[in-house]
Amino acid sequence: MANRSAAELALLGGTPVRSSPWPQWPARGPEEERAVIAALRHGDWGGFPLPNERAATFARAFAERHDSAHALCVANGTVSLEVALQAMGVEPGAEVIVPAYTFEATASAALFAGCVPVFADIDPDTYCIDVGAAEALVTDRTQAIVPVHLAMTVADLDSVGALAEKHELAVLEDCAHAHGARWRGRGVGSWGEAGSFSFQSSKLMTSGEGGIVTTSDDVILDRLHALVNCGRQRPGAAEPAAIGHNYRMTDLQAAVLEVQLGRLDRQHEIRARNASRLRAAIEDIAGLTNLRIDDRVTTQAIYQFVFRFESGAFAGLDRDTFVAALEAEGVPCDGRFYESLPASELLRPDPARYPAWSATLARSPVPDCPNAERAAYREAVWLPHQLLLGTTTEVDDIVEAVLKVQRGAAGLAGLESAEVERLRLARSAR
């Protein structure tokens, strides 16, 4: 191939800004290896009988780190939402308010619990639930609200709490992105009746798959035990046996998570330092804006570094072309990380399976969620957290790649999305 100049965009065949590897994720070392081997040799691999020893020890440490009295390990961060809603006493057919911009599981878990998800638009500056929009959706069937602490921030828990108190709603925090985050000094997952976390591979702590529910309510804990352990009563529980799933976590997973929890605070520090350098650089780039991080977020968890893109300062490029060009420069990133949930193909109402949801939609169609739509389809750019686990060199490479795309944007303006996709595939085949 002819000599390509470093100034030419990599999407058009130029040399990428970065070709060296990024910090590896999941972060792992001899500590995880030793823990897995010890669990393997111990022989009690599974989750039965509940509580299994390592999962129980890990859950105690996780609850303490998040200022909750209890935590219970489960199979993943979807079933954790499902059983938490049930254990909180949210009834079948009840409406549950969820943000319109999140992973589908936040809403589908409500459906699995027999409830009806109702989508509230997001705050355009934080991308977390807009509590004013949520209040407008409260009906006499609403029983719960699920704020999601999205990407790199924490939903406004004070406003959520005030709304919940006013309308007697239960609060379930979806903390799938927010391990270790604190709001006004107190751990996420401890502000509502329950909190739900995911340990899926991309998350800030991982055992490949896994989840956990935090709560300080003994009755909720008893019900959770039954729901995840085939209905069996927790020893000494006041709550009766119930119909339950097997949603237990294995001790092999818990062994890894104990080590991962020990790494969390140091990783937060590294990411925070690099994120503040990246935020400062973004402030100086025309057409990019940082998400607003509330002062009450006293410990920030950065699952994805998200910024907002405005095409005017990039020769009119749309967000998806910008993302393709940035990725070609060697920066892993995503634009359509989440859909606006009312538009998601993964959440089509099926009247036979979800009659209560279909009836709600027939009664009151989903309101417009313009902020979620703008974020999902035109504005948000997501960078995975491990890009911030390196040094200033990694941050400076991200910034240089963004500036290079900005300088060369005119060369991409006007391309059809099919042509951008062809260029993207050609680049990744090289």
Ligand X SMILES: Cc1ncc(COP(=O)(O)O)c(C=O)c1O
Smallest distance, Å, CB 350 to ligand X?
A: 20
Given candidates 52, 68, 76, 126, which one binds ligand X under the rule CB under 6 A? 76
Spacing of C-alpha 124 from chain mean position: 17
- How far apart (Å, rounded) are the C-alpha atoms in residues 369 and 138? 16
* DSSP alpha helix (H) spans, 337-391: 355-363, 370-374
Given candidates 78, 143, 253, 267, which one binds ligand X under the rule CB under 6 A? 78
- How far apart (Å, rounded) are the C-alpha atoms in residues 301 and 388? 12
Smallest distance, Å, CB 49 to ligand X?
A: 24
Question: What Å distances lie between residue 67 and 63, 232, 326, CA to CA?
Answer: 6, 27, 39
Of residues 95 and 173, the one with the C-beta less far from ligand X: 173
- How far apart (Å, rounded) are the C-alpha atoms in residues 279 and 388? 12
Given candidates 68, 86, 102, 267, which one binds ligand X under the rule CB under 6 A? 102
String of DSSP letters for 189-202: TSSSSEEEEE--TT
Interface mask (CB under 6 A) for ligand X, residues 241-260, using x and -? --------------------
User: Which amino acid would we find at residue 421?
Assistant: E
- Applying CB under 6 A, the site for ligand X has a residue count of 14
Stretch of 73-81, 257-265, 291-299, 343-351 contacting ligand X, by CB under 6 A: 73-81
Interface mask (CB under 6 A) for ligand X, residues 167-196, using x and -? -------x-xx-------------------
Report the site for ligand X in 197-226 (rule: CB under 6 A). 198, 200, 211
Smallest distance, Å, CB 339 to ligand X?
A: 13
Query: Going by C-beta distance under 8 Å and a sequence separation of 6 or more, which residues neighbour residue 327?
Result: 333, 424
- How far apart (Å, rounded) are the C-alpha atoms in residues 311 and 248? 47
Unique residue bearing structure tokens 């030419």? 8
Per the CB < 8 A criterion, the answer to whether 67 and 283 are in contact is no
Of residues 227 and 409, the one with the C-beta less far from ligand X: 227
Smallest distance, Å, CB 378 to ligand X?
A: 21
Six-digit token pair at 330? 């060697």
Report the site for ligand X in 13-72 (rule: CB under 6 A). none
Smallest distance, Å, CB 269 to ligand X?
A: 23
Peptide linkage before 26 cis (omega within 30 of 0): yes
Of residues 10 and 205, the one with the C-beta less far from ligand X: 205
Given candidates 14, 16, 77, 117, which one binds ligand X under the rule CB under 6 A? 77
Spacing of C-alpha 261 from chain mean position: 17
Smallest distance, Å, CB 105 to ligand X?
A: 4
Considering only CA atoms, give the Rg of the chain: 22
Stretch of 7-15, 75-83, 127-135, 376-384 contacting ligand X, by CB under 6 A: 75-83
Of residues 11 and 72, the one with the C-beta less far from ligand X: 72
Of residues 313 and 347, the one with the C-beta less far from ligand X: 347
- How far apart (Å, rounded) are the C-alpha atoms in residues 253 and 62? 14
Smallest distance, Å, CB 387 to ligand X?
A: 18
Given candidates 106, 214, 340, 360, which one binds ligand X under the rule CB under 6 A? 106
Instruction: Please count the other Cβ atoms lying within 10 Å of the Cβ belonging to residue 239.
Output: 17
Per the CB < 8 A criterion, the answer to whether 364 and 327 are in contact is no
Of residues 110 and 170, the one with the C-beta less far from ligand X: 110
151 scored as a contact of ligand X (CB under 6 A):
no
Q: Of 24, 134, 104, nearest to 367 (Cα)?
A: 134
Of residues 128 and 399, the one with the C-beta less far from ligand X: 128
Smallest distance, Å, CB 200 to ligand X?
A: 4
Beta strand segments in 148-210, E? 170-174, 182-183, 186-187, 194-198
- How far apart (Å, rounded) are the C-alpha atoms in residues 69 and 189? 11
Of residues 106 and 250, the one with the C-beta less far from ligand X: 106
**Residue in the shown chain whose Cβ atom is closest to ligand X:** 77
The binding site for ligand X (CB under 6 A) comprises 76-78, 102-103, 105-106, 148, 174, 176-177, 198, 200, 211
